[in-house]
Amino acid sequence: MRACLAVMLAAGLGAVPSGLRAQATRPLAPDAFLDPTAERLFRAAQANWQSVDSSVARYTAVIKQRIAASIRTPLKDRTLYRNESAVRAFWDRDHDALIQVLGARSEYPGRKDANDALGWMDDLTIDDPFEPGGDRLFFGLTRDESADLSQPDSSDFWFAHPLAQGADTLYRYRSGDTLTLNLPDGRRLLTVELDVIPREADVHRITGALWIEPKSGALVRAVYQLSRTMDVMRDIPEVRAENEAGEFKKVPGLLKPWTFSMTLVAIDYSFWEFKVWLPRSMRVEGEVRVGVLKMPIAFDVAYSIESVTLASDADAPPPAGTRERHFRNRAEAMAFLSQLLTDKDSVRYEPLSSVTRRVGNRTSRFLVPEDRSILTTSPYLPPPIWDDAPGFASEEDLRKTMQTLADLPQVPTEGVPSQFDWGWARQDLLRYNRVEGPAVGGRFQAQLGTFVGPVDFRATGFFGFADLQPKARLELERATVKRRTTLGGYRELDFTEPRGRYLGLGNSLMAFLFGRDDGDYYLATGADLMWRPPETSRQSYKVRLYGERQDPLSNKTDFALFRGNGVFRPNIRADRLQEVGGEVTLSPWWGTDPLAPQVGLEIYGQGAAWRHVGTTESERYARIRTTLRVATSLEGGTWRLGLEAAAGTSWGQVPLQRNWFLGGPITLRGYDVAAVSGTTFTRGRLEVARVFADVGSVSAFGDMGWAGPRGMLSRAQPLWGVGIGGSLLDGLVRMDLSHGLRGPAKSLRLDLYLDAIL
């Protein structure tokens, strides 16, 4: 008997201000509706939204919630925080809300659930049950109650409701597909999609789709996202004023920008006993970015309505035989309710008199189990957010939801000035390596309107003070909900290891401070076309077509701060050639919970035709590499086991820079980078780690690797390395002390790097 329906947004939400419900007296914008059906739907939905629904006097519902926040890195997402909770909410229009806490469980580094204290209350965010007479879309995240959206506003951050007065000046509307809901008694309910398209992309406006029941105008389902990423320093007035006053000049580029992308809000309602629409589920997804840190966040809520009393029945006389009970004070009433719920659930409950929470004009009061340890093992608790569960949106539901957003037209950003940063302003505009020495970069970006919709233009340039050579990349990128397509032209430093991040902060610091530069470089000049996931999604694939010239480079500096001169190893003498080819990277990762098994698979393939510069005879080659990674917990998470195995080979005539190179923390610890190379390789590593307080670990490991001609594989004599390591946050920051066991290239190495398996 449930019709699938609509969502709302995030944290600390209240009821829609009454002033926003006033009927608009001004005529609607003549270009607001792309078809007559859209106008009829809009008028019906606006009239329904402006009327206060007072049909519900009280209701009871079991509300389950789950949330997770992670740090995103190229290898995997690392869970920083997760919470699952369940309550039974007793909502009454004339009284405070009563919350019976059924279960609460949270995990984050450095904390174990404190069941004998009130620490778990900090993680309980279900303290404000749904208001049947409130807004179904934003739950209060709108402008001031007297606001007309057709007038400019410079106040604090707000969202423009697509049904509010003046919304037709900010949005356009079009009708879409119909959705027929088959109800259990045989009746059918028709809903129609109303697409909401902002006139321009703006952090105050959404883009999405509303499903409206055309007769009543009821909002049945909603799917939307913010039409533009929010930049805190640009879009929050107070922060912008401080930034313009120079308050943030000392903040390093490593910690800028500060942005938030709300990529999905999906709400569904159910038609309770064919009388009133009440919430069924809500899903919110987004990403917070602070400089180099990207933190995806997902939030899920499911409502199970147990009983509803309509206003028409609230004043009816009680059934015969009903006993009245009068209480002298609130404490006595709460004690009586505790006893009633104890009898219902066979768990002894007590009032939590020391804690109340007030949202808007309503106070929430709590009943909790006397035995707090029950909270973390309650059968009411839902599984973690990465598992499918009844009542919540499934992976298939989310896939269809994203397709709905992908089908909406792209929206241009108007009136946004171009942006230019250089040097210290961004984390990726300063670098140091043995070819360029110190290099300073600048980045210009703007959005262009084209026949295919909005396109981002970016120009990034670097100048190396050692080689005195400018490098640059120009890009045009079209981004949609499902993918990014990028066309680029470049003259830039490139390196031999496809996974390498040798131009980033970590390798630059190691090179400048200690004279250890793990990159092997050549100069690439050409053009490419790339397809990748959206920037806010995990980068699980990349397809690239390219044509370029490659030129060898030599060391131009030999200085490190703590080691003086003469410390850098020589750069490889790459072949000078022209090459046309393509490459594909697939890197799915399964598992997010660090206490459960995690598996990652990376497949890299490349094929190209090339010729030496100045010759006409061409050669061809193809190569492939497969890497399997497994991490699992032992003894309840106290110990962890990590395994990595990789192999790759090549066919055809392979240029020197397209060989496989082993050595260093990415491939073979205990050996210098490029200790061995060849057209074929195989390698593996095994490590066991002892975890401390879910914050860090200490591990022992062993690595093995071999590279050479494929015909020598059967007679291979692999290199071996062993060592000990330590990491923070499930391998986010890693330090290894390793030593090779055989071969002339073995060495004692201390490596500090990011993004390890454990």
- Say if residue 382 is preceded by a cis peptide, omega within 30 of 0: no
Same domain, 732 and 635: yes
Same domain, 586 and 512: no
Q: Is residue 704 part of a domain?
A: yes
Q: What is the mean pLDDT of the chain?
A: 83
Query: How many domains does the chain contain in total?
Result: 2
Domain final residue, candidates 515, 541, 574: 574
Checking if the pLDDT of 351 tops 90, the result is no
Checking if the pLDDT of 713 tops 70, the result is yes
What pLDDT shows up at residue 47?
86
Domain final residue, candidates 554, 574, 594: 574
Q: Is residue 311 part of a domain?
A: no
CB count in 10 Å sphere of residue 85: 25
Model pLDDT for residues 688-702, shown as the tens digit of each residue: 999 887 788 999 999
Place of tokens 């929206």: 411
Q: Please give the average per-residue pLDDT across 639-655, as a whole number.
A: 95
Query: Confidence class of residue 312 from pLDDT cuts 50, 70 and 90?
Result: confident
User: Which stretch, 321-335, 495-509, 640-654, has highest mean pLDDT?
Assistant: 640-654
Checking if the pLDDT of 106 tops 90, the result is no
Checking if the pLDDT of 150 tops 60, the result is no
Q: What is the DSSP string of 547-572?
A: EEEEEE------EETTTEES-PPPPP
What pLDDT shows up at residue 12?
26
Q: Is residue 548 part of a domain?
A: yes
Same domain, 560 and 428: yes
Same domain, 669 and 632: yes
Place of tokens 């890299």: 604
What pLDDT shows up at residue 387?
87
Instruction: For residue 125, give the amino acid letter.
Output: T
Find all residues with CB under 8 Å of 646, minimum gap 6, and list them.
625, 626, 627, 628, 667, 681, 682, 683, 684
Where b means 16+ CB within 10 Å and e means fewer, 471-492 reads bebbbebbbebebbbbebebbb
Model pLDDT for residues 363-373, shown as the tens digit of each residue: 788 888 888 88
Q: Please give the average per-residue pLDDT across 403-426, as a whole number.
A: 80
Q: Is residue 180 part of a domain?
A: no
What pLDDT shows up at residue 182?
65
Is residue 256 exposed (0-12), middle (13-18) or buried (19+ Cβ within 10 Å)? buried
What pLDDT shows up at residue 510?
87
Instruction: For residue 280, give the amino acid letter.
Output: R
Query: Rounded to an integer, what distance in angstroms lies between the CA atom of residue 594 and that of residue 226?
Result: 31
Same domain, 657 and 736: yes
Same domain, 701 and 649: yes
Domain final residue, candidates 527, 543, 574: 574
Q: Please give the average per-residue pLDDT across 595-602, as a whole number.
A: 90
Checking if the pLDDT of 19 tops 50, the result is no
Residue 424 is part of which domain span?
418-574
What pLDDT shows up at residue 116?
42
Q: Is residue 316 part of a domain?
A: no
Checking if the pLDDT of 7 tops 60, the result is no
Query: Rounded to an integer, what distance in angstroms lies between the CA atom of residue 321 and that of residue 736?
Result: 75
CATH code of residue 604: 2.40.160.50
Q: Is residue 530 part of a domain?
A: yes
User: Which stretch, 138-152, 258-272, 722-736, has highest mean pLDDT?
Assistant: 722-736
Same domain, 473 and 611: no
Structure tokens at 42: 């809009």
Q: Is residue 170 part of a domain?
A: no
Query: Rounded to an integer, what distance in angstroms lies between the CA atom of residue 504 and that of residue 521?
Result: 14
Q: Please give the average per-residue pLDDT across 520-541, as a whole number.
A: 94
Checking if the pLDDT of 114 tops 70, the result is no
**Quick one: which of 76, 67, 79, 172 has its CA closest to 124?**
67
Same domain, 758 and 716: yes
CB count in 10 Å sphere of residue 315: 7
Per the model's pLDDT, the better-predicted residue between 237 and 752 turns out to be 752
Same domain, 448 and 568: yes
Structure tokens at 458: 């970016």
Q: Please give the average per-residue pLDDT across 455-466, as a whole number.
A: 93
Checking if the pLDDT of 157 tops 70, the result is no
Q: Please give the average per-residue pLDDT across 523-536, as a whole number.
A: 94
Same domain, 525 and 589: no
Per the model's pLDDT, the better-predicted residue between 451 and 263 turns out to be 263
Same domain, 703 and 747: yes
CA distances from 595 to 115, 233, 235, 386, 730 (A): 20, 37, 39, 13, 10
Q: Is residue 461 part of a domain?
A: yes
Same domain, 428 and 558: yes
What pLDDT shows up at residue 153?
52
Q: Please give the average per-residue pLDDT across 564-568, as a whole number.
A: 75
